[in-house]
Chain A
Amino acid sequence: MSESKKPQSAKTYLADLATHVPTSSRRDFLKKGVKFSTGLAAATVAGEAISDNLPPNIPSWSKSLGTGVVSTPYGVPSKFEDDVIRRTVEWLTADKISSISMSPIQELKGIITPNGLVFERYHAGVPTVNPEEHRLMIHGLVDNPLIFTMDDLMRFPSESVINFLECPANGGMEWRGPQMEALQFTHGMISCCEWTGVRLSTLLAEVGVQTKGKWILAEGADGAGMSRSIPMDKALDDALVVYAQNGEKLRPEQGYPVRLFNPGWEGNTSIKWLRRLEIGDKPWHHREETSKYTDLMPDGRSRRFSYEQEANSVITSPCPENPWGQKGSYEIEGLAWSGRGKIKHVDVSIDGGVTWRPARLKGLVLSKALTRFSLPFKWDGAPGLLQSRAIDETGYVQPTLNQLRDVRGTNSIYHKNSIHTWQLQSNGKIKNVQLK
């Protein structure tokens, strides 16, 4: 008769359970009771760490089920990471349509910038381009002017590269003096992704560039019709026409469905929403290479076609957003990059550039890519002036701000790649300063 007993005992068992308050809520109840009765005392203890989720207790998430697959068909970061976002400096531009936002590089690890955090810069907002109706036209001094669909472009052999993308105005707010108490605002106009697309040289071979063809006008399909003149040498060297970043299709902010990508060059030459490439014998001198993106020198003359992003570096930890706490062991960490090739060395100073120690380059060290450097450090609580100095494979040594200003004055806006100084205070806080 065991069969008849079984349901009975299960019933009894369940009934028995129902009279029990589950342990976790009983503990909650007890804790609340304590809080209510002796508010002050409990608050101080709770401030220390009374949590049901800390050892020796078993955390609540270990005793329940989580959400199932595809509850978020396209995954998003943990809700606890909701302050890791792009930010803008409102007063920089007249409106948000032609504006810029910065990547939270103070929070990022490794060298790859997640797609949703890549800095944004556009001159007429993000257009909504239908890939089915988007076309890339290549014409001008060519034998066979051609028009490509997105499917066409993806039939060509693809290549993937890991390269940084940087706005030449990165740091440009600080030519005259330190302004921003945040790494995101001093250096955040940079990101680094794996970019996938077809070599521009492949497409050029397809249309057959005539010998007189020395320049290429690249033009976007956005409301700014963003346009830049690109020399043929770059096009044949390493320029790509890319449709994917970090494994997925480009984000709309990054030029979906297709953009030009010029490794190591100022970001705005990498025309987004690319619709047209015209081959010509001379540059076009359009607005974005005359009125803007030219560098005014103290003598009133200006540099044009200043394409390369020279070697640069910055300490990302500590920084104003990542201060130190108590004395002890820390890792001074940061990012270095050069538009002319690989980073060869990064040196770190804690005394404002009097003495320097070589840092270790860690992880991948790739040409024209963000490169991590690291220097373990025992902090005794003394204040300091932290700096990093990058040297690239051409032997170029990142300049001091004074060296840059001596040549360029303070009105050139773009290409400020000088050694950056963080002031470490004895409370572990970091301030943005400059040295005279």
Chain B
Amino acid sequence: MFSLNKLLITLTLTALVSLSSVAFAADDTHYGIGEKATAEQIAGWDIDVRPDGKGLPKGQGSVMQGEAMYEAKCASCHGLFGEGEGRWPPLAGGEDSLTEDRPDKTVGSYWPYASTLWDYINRAMPFPAPQSLTVTEVYAITAYVLYLNDLVEDDFVLTQTNLASIKMPNEQNFYIDNRPDTNNTRCMKNCKDPSKIVVIQSLRGITPDQETETAPESSEAKPNLSEATIAGKATYDTSCFVCHGSGIAGAPKIGDKEVWGKRLGAGMDTVVKHAINGYVGDNGVMPPKGGNLTLSDEDVKNAVHYMVEAQ
């Protein structure tokens, strides 16, 4: 209240001054620009969570609840056990690997705070549909990922109050940047023994071809495609490509005529219904609308057409 009054006074004064004289700026620190952010506006956007639990909403979720949710919404990329499918990041494992030649940095082996997991899942996952999870889902899935890392038991219930007390194994092993950590000198002559220089050559065959690239095949609409297909491209690119582009976790690959031919045996309607409602097949989990529930049924249908027809 007090501060608001002060603001109003500043504004009024500014107005008076500029009317009565040629003033170019009010004072150096206050311009009176911007509107007050209301408590409601702040509450809607203030999603961050800190290690001490500040920022957590009221709620809870259990490992038990989290299992099914994780398998439906996360496992296709991160693996049933958090081992990571293909190139997608693993979420579990790697204990005691940090000093090894190939360290495996995961939630369990590396992350210093459990709050980070809650915060990140809430703001950024599942990858195709960020900020789509309910509070209960975030608690339950976080609990489940902690469980996959052997950090809690299978009967654990994660709540607003107990999250801050979970100790992560690697918490004590972080310290503030202490660079500069080298001290080279500006030597100009006879700086080393030339006979001792050993030249290491680069590995071959991993530098990408630098010929001018054309746009990637998979996302180019071809002229002979149906209208539904062309309309579906945008949805595909943002919501389906992550799995169907590479065929991760058993997702049928875009444009793979043989695979789609077999699936269409069940009829286009069934296939579309599966895409809209989600289902568990022999290959893996297809999340409802690919995880992006903001899509309309029509969008999803068009995206299916695009995947089937694209070359």
Q: Show the binding face of A for B, using Cβ within 8 Å.
A: 82-83, 85, 87-91, 93-98, 123-125, 137-139, 143-148, 152, 155-157, 177-182, 184-185, 202, 205-206, 208, 217, 219, 223-225, 227, 275-276, 278, 280, 282, 284-287, 290-291, 294-296, 298-308, 310, 321, 345, 347, 351-357, 385, 389, 391, 396-400, 403-404, 407-408, 411, 415, 423, 431-436
- B48 contacts A436, C-beta separation under 8 Å: no
In the complex, B283 has a CB within 8 A of chain A: no
In the complex, B139 has a CB within 8 A of chain A: no
* A residues less than 8 Å from B173 (CB atoms): 300-302
Docked Cα-Cα span, A357 to B182, in Å, equals: 22
Describe B's contact surface by its main secondary structure. Answer: loop
* A residues less than 8 Å from B197 (CB atoms): 352, 354, 385, 435-436
- B130 contacts A95, C-beta separation under 8 Å: no
- B111 contacts A290, C-beta separation under 8 Å: yes
In the complex, B183 has a CB within 8 A of chain A: yes
- A123 contacts B124, C-beta separation under 8 Å: yes
Given contacts A310-B180, A354-B191, A391-B186, are A178 and B98 in contact (CB under 8 A)?
Answer: no
Q: Sample 16 A-B pairs with CB under 8 A, ordered by A number.
A: A148-B33, A155-B31, A179-B206, A180-B202, A206-B33, A223-B131, A278-B48, A284-B50, A300-B99, A302-B174, A306-B177, A351-B194, A354-B192, A403-B184, A407-B182, A434-B200
Describe A's contact surface by its main secondary structure. Answer: loop
* A residues less than 8 Å from B48 (CB atoms): 217, 219, 227, 278, 284, 286
* Interface bits B48-82 vs A (CB < 8 Å: 1, else 0): 11111000000000000000000000000000000
Docked Cα-Cα span, A391 to B184, in Å, equals: 10
* A residues less than 8 Å from B265 (CB atoms): none
In the complex, B35 has a CB within 8 A of chain A: yes
- B120 contacts A185, C-beta separation under 8 Å: no
In the complex, B162 has a CB within 8 A of chain A: no
Chain A: which residue is nearest B180 at the CB level?
A396
**Within the complex, what minimum Cβ distance (angstroms) separates A178 from chain B?**
4
- B116 contacts A285, C-beta separation under 8 Å: yes
**Within the complex, what minimum Cβ distance (angstroms) separates B10 from chain A?**
10
Docked Cα-Cα span, A397 to B199, in Å, equals: 23
* B residues less than 8 Å from A219 (CB atoms): 48
Chain A: which residue is nearest B117 at the CB level?
A287
Query: Which stretch from B39-47, B148-156, B272-280 is at the chain A interface?
Result: B39-47
Q: Select B174's contact among A148, A301, A307, A404, beta carbons within 8 Å.
A: A301
* Interface bits B117-139 vs A (CB < 8 Å: 1, else 0): 00110011001001100000000
Given contacts A147-B35, A275-B45, are A411 and B103 in contact (CB under 8 A)?
Answer: yes
- B103 contacts A290, C-beta separation under 8 Å: no
**Within the complex, what minimum Cβ distance (angstroms) separates A270 from chain B?**
17
In the complex, B246 has a CB within 8 A of chain A: yes
Given contacts A87-B213, A145-B42, A305-B176, are A181 and B202 in contact (CB under 8 A)?
Answer: yes
* A residues less than 8 Å from B179 (CB atoms): 303, 306, 308, 310, 415
Interface pairs A-B: 4 shortest CB-CB: A225-B123, A94-B87, A178-B202, A399-B182
* B residues less than 8 Å from A389 (CB atoms): 184, 186
Chain B: which residue is nearest A136 at the CB level?
B34
Given contacts A285-B51, A291-B105, A304-B177, are A276 and B186 in contact (CB under 8 A)?
Answer: no
Given contacts A286-B116, A352-B194, are A144 and B36 in contact (CB under 8 A)?
Answer: yes
- B191 contacts A355, C-beta separation under 8 Å: yes
Chain A: which residue is nearest B50 at the CB level?
A284
Docked Cα-Cα span, A345 to B130, in Å, equals: 47
Q: Select A146's contact among B29, B36, B105, beta carbons within 8 Å.
A: B36
Docked Cα-Cα span, A147 to B38, in Å, equals: 9
Chain B: which residue is nearest A205 at the CB level?
B29
Chain A CB within 10 Å — which of B52, B190, B213 has the most? B213
- B113 contacts A285, C-beta separation under 8 Å: yes
Chain A: which residue is nearest B201 at the CB level?
A433
Given contacts A143-B3, A224-B130, A355-B188, are A300 and B98 in contact (CB under 8 A)?
Answer: yes
Given contacts A287-B124, A290-B111, are A303 and B187 in contact (CB under 8 A)?
Answer: no
- B202 contacts A433, C-beta separation under 8 Å: yes
In the complex, B23 has a CB within 8 A of chain A: no
